[in-house]
Chains A and B, each alone.
Chain A
Amino acid sequence: MRRFIIALVAVVAILTAAKAFAAIKVITTTEDLAALVTEIGGNKVTVESLAKGYQDPHFVEAKPSFIIKLHSADLLVVVGRELEIAWLPPLITQSRNAAIQPGSGGYLDASQTARILDIPTGLITRAMGDVHPSGNPHYWLDPNNGRLMAKAIQNKLSNMSRADAAYFAQRYDDFDKRLAEAEKRWTAAMAPYKGLKVVTYHRSWPNFADAFGLDVIGYVEPKPGIPPSPAHTLDLQQEMKAKNVKILLVEPYFDLKTPNAIGRDTGAKVLVMPPSVGGVKEATNYIQLFDYDINLLVSTIKQTGTK
Chain B
Amino acid sequence: MSVVSIARLRRVACAVGVLVLFASGQAFAQASAASPPAGQPQTDPQQIREELNRLRAEFEAIRESYGARLSALEAKLGGGQTTGTAAAPTPGAPPAPGAPPTADVPAGAAGAGGPQSPLPVYGSTSASSKIFNPDIAVIGNFLTATGRNTVEPLPGFELREAEVSLQAVVDPYARADFFLAATPGGLEVEEGYVTFSSLPGGLLAKVGQMKEQFGKVNTLHAHTLPWADTPLVMRNLLGGEEGLSDAGMSVSKLVLNPWFFLEATGEVYRGSSGVFEASKPGHVSWLGRIRGYRDLTEGTNLDIGASVTRGYNELGSDFTTRLIGVDATFRYRPLRRAIYRRFVGRSELMWSRREQEDGTVPAFGMYVSGEYQFARRWFGGIRYDRSERAFDASLVDKGPSFVLTFWPSEFSQIRGQVRRTRYAEGVTANEALFQFLFSIGAHGAHVF
Residues of A within 8 A of B (CB): 52, 54-56, 59-65, 67-68, 71, 85-90, 92-96, 98, 101-104, 119-122, 124, 126, 129-130, 133, 225-227, 252-255
Contact = CB atoms under 8 A, between A and B. Distances in A.
A56 B445 contact: no
Nearest to A89: B445
Contacts of B173: 98
Interface string B231-262: 00000000000000000000000101000010
Contact of B448 (A52, A90, A103): A90
Given A54-B336, A71-B202, A121-B121, A62 B447 contact: yes
A86 B204 CA distance: 21
Contact of A90 (B295, B335, B447): B447
A158 B219 CA distance: 43
B343 to A, nearest CB: 13
A126 B137 CA distance: 13
Contact of A96 (B203, B337, B338, B339): B203
B199 interface: yes
Contacts, number: 111
17 contacts: A54-B335, A61-B448, A62-B448, A63-B448, A64-B448, A71-B202, A90-B444, A90-B445, A90-B448, A93-B197, A94-B447, A95-B197, A96-B203, A124-B121, A126-B409, A225-B410, A253-B335
Contact of A87 (B261, B336, B445): B445
Nearest to A103: B172
A63 B295 contact: yes
B51 interface: no
B118 A126 contact: no
Contacts of B402: none
A68 B445 contact: no
Given A65-B295, A98-B197, A129-B409, 10 more contacts: A54-B336, A56-B338, A61-B338, A63-B295, A64-B293, A71-B254, A90-B446, A94-B197, A120-B121, A254-B339
Nearest to A122: B118
- By DSSP majority rule, is chain B's interface helix, strand, loop, or mixed? loop
Contact of A94 (B198, B204, B446): B204
Top 9 nearest A-B pairs (CB, nearest first) are: A98-B198, A64-B293, A64-B261, A62-B448, A55-B335, A90-B447, A227-B376, A96-B202, A96-B204
Contacts of A93: 175, 195, 197, 204
Contacts of B121: 119-122, 124, 133
B261 A67 contact: yes
Interface residues of B, number: 45
A299 B376 CA distance: 32
A225 B261 contact: no
Given A90-B446, A253-B337, A96 B197 contact: yes
A68 B448 contact: no
A202 B293 CA distance: 33
Interface string B419-445: 000000000000000000000100011
B263 interface: yes
A142 B448 CA distance: 33
Given A56-B339, A71-B202, A226 B256 contact: no
A54 B333 CA distance: 13
Contacts of B409: 126, 129-130, 225-226
Interface in B76-134: 118-121
Contacts of A55: 335-336, 338
Contacts of B295: 63, 65
Given A89-B445, A101-B197, A119-B121, A252 B172 contact: no
